[in-house]
Amino acid sequence: MILHRALRLIVITDSALAAPRTIEEVVEEALSAGAPAIQLREKSASSRELMARAERLRELTRRWNAYLFLNDRFDIALAAGADGVHLGPNDPPVKAIRSAAPDGFLIGHSTNDPAEAREAAAQGADYIGCGAVYPTSTKSDAGPAIGVEGLAEVARAVEIPVVGIGGITPEGARDIAAQSPAAGVAVIGAVMGASNPGAVVKALLAPFHERERARPQHQAEAGSFDE
């Protein structure tokens, strides 16, 4: 799978929002609807619990030919056979993880600053998570919203894919696809808390599918990022 296409949508897990369903139930609905990537993010889980859940999600993502990322935990990502890890500002620097990672292992990094995005890319990041684009209640450390304009500024600063995160709904995804060069979006509440996760996944993906179909072939090829 070409990485920038996989990053049209990253579904980030949240057990509280998924309840009374399990994360696995919501993730499988999302995957069956076409979600190309899942990020396991469970801040309160123990390492043992996180490992068990990562192994279950790895089985699901393999079945649906999707990517699996671990939030923060490089060690568990490796042990579970995940495709990559997503690093925040308080995690080890990208260059440290890149030097220890096997070939083909993917690294994402969170920033809403163009200069920091360029530095992360120089250190070996494969993609940038940028936000909060819109106000959000699911990430207490998200900071003030930067809007689609702030996301677009970061996306134009680097050659690796940039994914918008923070308060994103299907309507917000449509604005992002139309008004920025971002590769896609990452969502928590919009899918995890949905009564019909599959329908929301399809709605989130639709504007990015439409954007690609509307682009001339030479632009689509020039704008692609290989894994």
Residues annotated as part of the active site: 41, 110, 139
How far, in Å, CA of 155 to CA of 216, rounded?
20
Contacts of 92 (CB under 8 A, 6+ apart): 74
| Closest CA relative to residue 129, chosen from 164, 172, 94 | 164
Tokens of 7: 């990053």
Instruction: Read off φ and ψ for residue 112, nearest 5 degrees.
Output: -115, 20
Per-position b or e across 147-179, b if 16+ CB within 10 A of its CB: bbebbbbbbebbebbbbbbbbbbbebbbbbbee
- Residue pair 184/9 in contact by the 8 Å Cβ criterion: yes
